[in-house]
Amino acid sequence: MTVEPARSALGHQLRHQLPLLVWLVLVWNLLWGTWSWANLLSGIVVALAVTLLLPLPPVVGGTHLHPVGLVVFLGYFFLDLVRSAALVAWQTIRPGGIGRSAIIRVQLRTDSDLLLTIVAESLTLVPGSVVIDMDRERRTLSIHVLHVRNLEDVERRRAAVLAEEERVVRAFGSADEIAALAHAPGEAPTGTGRRTP
């Protein structure tokens, strides 16, 4: 009687961690370099040991992959990567040196841990912007951006961050989250909006 909830909790945990398990088995096989049943079995054993001995908090929500959105996101991502790497490289070798940088704070619209993580990771991967801090409650990202000349540039970078967020949500988000994109950043539908100062 007391075993049953424990077992279902274990099953629940295992089901939540299934993507992690698959990823660990994949990494194990790639590290061995060759495909064989022995590698698969030992990989499963190692992955189970790792997930049971060193448990992680489960990812709330899960992903909903949209193929078209994913292609758009990846295409823009690699384009951004190449373009801004070339830009930063040019700034390092040009005689004038770099311009001024700025720290901007962007109010995001999505409210999912996973999506926020993907947004922050892809923003940091692109040279020219590094996420410094993240306020989970107010859903703001603080981003250090390189090479801004005036306030118009700042607004352009902010719009670029919001466009990146929209692409991420359209690639990985659920229907609710895509619908939430239509709301303005300040007036969140969940009511956890801004406090009055």
Partner 1 sequence: MNEIATVRDVVAIVLVLAGAFLCLTAGLGLLRFHDVLTRMHAGTKPQVLGILLIMVAGAIRLQGWSAIWMLLLVAAFQMLTAPVSAHMISRVAYRRRHVRRDLLLVDEIRSGESVDRVYRGDEPADAPPEQPAASLRASRREDQAPSGGSPRAGE
**Which residues make up the interface to partner 1 (CB under 8 A)?**
27, 30-31, 33-34, 81-82, 85, 88-89, 91-93, 97-98, 100-105, 120-122, 124-128, 130-138, 142, 144, 146, 148-151, 154, 195, 197
The Cα 128–Cα 194 span in angstroms is 29
- Please state the closest distance from residue 12 (CB atom) to partner 1, in A: 26
Which of residues 67 and 97 has its CB atom nearest to partner 1 in the complex? 97
- CB-based contact 168:73 (threshold 8 Å): yes
- Please state the closest distance from residue 66 (CB atom) to partner 1, in A: 21
Which of residues 15 and 83 has its CB atom nearest to partner 1 in the complex? 83
- Please state the closest distance from residue 19 (CB atom) to partner 1, in A: 14
- Please state the closest distance from residue 151 (CB atom) to partner 1, in A: 7
The string of DSSP codes covering 144-176 is: EEEEE-SHHHHHHHHHHHHHHHHHHHHHH--HH
- CB-based contact 83:126 (threshold 8 Å): no
**Helix, strand, or coil (residue 194):** coil
- Please state the closest distance from residue 33 (CB atom) to partner 1, in A: 3
Which of residues 123 and 180 has its CB atom nearest to partner 1 in the complex? 123
Which residues, in sequence order, are CB contacts of 35 under 8 Å at separation 6+? 29
Which of residues 104 and 180 has its CB atom nearest to partner 1 in the complex? 104
Which of residues 61 and 127 has its CB atom nearest to partner 1 in the complex? 127
Which of residues 64 and 149 has its CB atom nearest to partner 1 in the complex? 149
117: left (phi over 0), alpha (psi -120 to 50) or beta: alpha
- CB-based contact 112:61 (threshold 8 Å): yes
Count of beta carbons in the 10 Å neighbourhood of residue 117: 13
- Please state the closest distance from residue 48 (CB atom) to partner 1, in A: 21
Backbone angles phi, psi at 141, to 5 degrees: -110, 135
